[in-house]
Amino acid sequence: LEGMDFNIVIGPESRGFIFGMPIAYNLQKAFVPIRKKGKLPCETASIKYDLEYGSAEIEIHKRSIKPGDKVVIVDDLMATGGTAMIKLIEGLGGEVVEVLCLIELMGLKGREKLKGYKVDSVIQYPGN
């Protein structure tokens, strides 16, 4: 991510916190969490999405993303929540400039769902 133009690292609950916070700290960028519904204390924006085994709802503080913010999403696993996070961020006026994951489960076809976005993963696993 060095040299990339962005000002916010998003880390989804909970392992995204583990990977996103040190990246944000080391690159001197803001860190913003996305959490499961009901866990954030201030006014939030939320979105529901489908999982392989059901559905979920995630939230972000409304004031944490401003129009024009350039955002990198950092998570442990590329699975099904990426498109929901992007919709949430873009709904607040942010621009997602990269989705970065430790592990990509190729069988879930996450890259196809995130077509049009820069996507990187450290490990690509063929299963789902």
Rounded Cα distance between 126 and 117, Å, is 21
- 104 in catalytic set: no
Classify residue 26 as exposed, middle or buried by CB count within 10 Å of its CB (0-12, 13-18, 19+).
exposed
Nearest residue to 19 via CA among 98, 72, 75, 85: 75
Of 13, 15, 95, 98, catalytic = 15
- 90 in catalytic set: no
Tokens representing 23 are: 């990246």
Of 2, 43, 52, 112, catalytic = 52
The catalytic residue positions are: 15, 52
